[in-house]
Structure 1
Amino acid sequence: MSENITPLPFIDELVTSGVPEALHPYLGTVGVGPLVVKMGIVFTHMTPELMTATMPVAGNTQIAGLLHGGAHLVLAETLGSFAASLHAGAGRRVVGIEIGATHHRGATTGLVTGTATAIHLGRTLATHEVVVTDESGRRLSTARITNMILDS
């Protein structure tokens, strides 16, 4: 008897982006999104309560050579949204309803790390604080993102 196996068209994208194998069935048909790939974001830990990822400064700078402020927000929104999605679970989806950030210092080289920590994981809202640091552990920015959780 042959087993019905759903193909996972985004498996290579998930592997390249550091998504743990346990989450491949959950994300395998949707991937991580073209912007995540374009920005070079690689996940290093993925749970609803704590999510981390790295992102290179190179290729994500503004004209003065600093990591673009928008890149900070892309990393923050990626982490907060994926964490909220894991919290929401299968059959539900999340949409961002608020994000804001304070930029503390610039980065011109290396990798930055984003760490999203849950502030609130509710039935209809999930809020995360995201801290972006440089390779020396210095805080570059602090963001807060709130996602609304919807039934599909």
Structure 2
Amino acid sequence: MQITKEEFLARTKVISKNTLLETLQIEFVDFGDDFLIAKMPVNSRVHQPDGVLHGGATVALAETVGSFAAELLFNLNDVFVRGIEISANHVKSVKAGFVFARAKIVHKGRTTQIFDIRVTDEADNLISLCKLTTVALPKSK
């Protein structure tokens, strides 16, 4: 199934309502043949008590962008996609602005997929490096 960038970005806004994506204000901003990018504001909603971006919020952003990237690979009428493992190395803190997660496919299997997800700040500094494994399973008929 081919979808235009505009159709995909509009669809994500609709299906994000009343979900963690809306709570964290995650917004998809771009995609191409082998990547998907989303952004999230860094503010008190996603801070640790000491005022820096919480690693859990970073991982939620990474898993979100990776899972949506996996969904772009498949016909969702036939399969559903779930994240089955994620790891994250947090290398820099950030207090304000936006962070961007760019998911890039590393392995595109029929059942499992692996994504490299780089989370950067507005100056393109690496904040976290994440790896997500997803599984695509057939829907019951």
The TM-score bracket by the shorter chain reads 0.7 to 0.9
When you count strand as a share of all residues, which structure comes out higher? 2
**Cα shift at 1:21:** 3.5
Residue 93, structure 1, aligned to residue 80, structure 2: yes
Q: Which residue of 1 aligns with 2:110?
A: 123
Identity of aligned residues (%): 35
Query: Structure 2-normalised TM-score?
Result: 0.86
**Structure 1 CA distance for aligned equivalents of residues 32 and 11 of structure 2:** 13
> How many equivalent residue pairs?
133
Residue identity opposite 2:90 in structure 1: H
- 1:30-51 deviations in whole A, cap 9, x for unaligned? 7136100110111011356200
Q: How does 1:22-37 map to 2 (within 5 A)?
A: 22-23=7-8, 31-32=15-16, 34-37=19-22
Which structure 1 residue ranges, 4+ long, deviate > 4 Å from structure 2? Answer: 24-28
**Structure 1 CA distance for aligned equivalents of residues 54 and 103 of structure 2:** 19
Please state whether the residue corresponding to 1:87 is helix, strand or coil: coil
Unmatched segments (≥5 aa) in structure 1: 1-18
Q: Retained in 2: the 8 A contact 1:77–1:99? A: yes
Unmatched segments (≥5 aa) in structure 2: none
What do you get for the CA RMSD once the two structures are aligned?
Answer: 2.1
